[in-house]
Amino acid sequence: MSPFLAYEDKGADLGADLPSVPLVLVHGHPFDHTMWTPQIEKFSTTRRVVAPDLRGYGASPVVPGITPLAAFAEDIETLLDDLGLETFVLAGLSMGGQIVMECYARFPDRVRGLVLADTFPAAETDDGRRTRNAMADRLLREGMRGYADEVLEKMVAPYAAAEVKAHVHRMMTATPPEGAAAALRGRAERPDYRDLLTRVTVPALVVVGADDTYTPVPDAEAMHAALPDSTLRVIERAAHMPNLERAGEFNEALGEFLAKVHD
């Protein structure tokens, strides 16, 4: 049984002016749905936008232990069923992008477009599994603040605006360690989505920050090459969260993509 997810749902009141394809935004680790605030504000004026807090993050329930990507995808599917959304564009950043890939593997017929931002499709390496599990242990032992301090200027570039840095740091420190640890342990066991990408039948947008060191530009270029119908956008002067660091450029790329997606 999937937990009830907290979520933001905007634009549903547009009535006859509402475009046919809603936008579903899946956040990364260790954040919450507010990482998508610039996109919610921009696109909910013309279409329905749904942005959940994943289990263990934001205002959603914490489920300790191990949360595989399949569990996150099941939660999202249940939420979209509850909201009566039959078809949609799915967008995810980092871990959210991997969850979006898992969603496409589970219910491809409902997906009208994919947005994969600052993410990668490969399964975890042995070293990566050890690192993620060790970090999960550390977060349970120490909490989130030390980790947040250490990685802030990799999540966003050192030159990012102060308000962006503050927002990202606030999301990280507010995340429950039990939820973050469960996600890390589940992500360590994720499947390989590279073959799946070659079989995607809907348009895709691949976005990456030019200065992203977690998921560098070559990772995005490889996804773009694997996807049958994709557009690649590299956002200059941004690291791992271009949707916040360079919201205008990110929204321009996303808006151009959404204009081409039809129900």
Which residue range forms the structural domain that includes residue 54?
A: 7-260
What CATH number does the domain containing 36 carry? 3.40.50.1820
**Structural domains in the chain (count):** 1
Contact 96/195 with Cβ under 8 angstroms? Answer: no
Name residues whose C-beta falls within 8 Å of residue 122's C-beta, 6 or more positions apart in sequence.
192, 193, 194
Q: Determine the pLDDT at residue 165.
A: 98
- Site of tokens 């990668």: 120
Name residues whose C-beta falls within 8 Å of residue 84's C-beta, 6 or more positions apart in sequence.
none
Q: Determine the pLDDT at residue 31.
A: 98
Q: Which two tokens stand for residue 164?
A: 């962006």
21, part of any domain: yes
Q: Which two tokens stand for residue 108?
A: 């491809």
| Cα–Cα nearest to 208, from 89, 115, 121 | 115
E strand segments, the chain: 7-10, 23-26, 49-52, 88-93, 111-117, 204-209, 230-235
Q: Determine the pLDDT at residue 1.
A: 47
1, part of any domain: no
31, part of any domain: yes
Q: What is the mean pLDDT of each run of 10 residues along the chain (263 residues)?
A: 84 68 97 98 95 98 95 97 96 98 98 98 97 98 98 98 98 98 97 98 98 98 98 98 98 96 79
Q: Determine the pLDDT at residue 126.
A: 96
- HSE at residue 154, side-chain half, CA atoms within 13 A, is 11
2, part of any domain: no
Q: Determine the pLDDT at residue 12.
A: 77
Task: Provide the 8-state DSSP code for 89.
Answer: E
144, part of any domain: yes
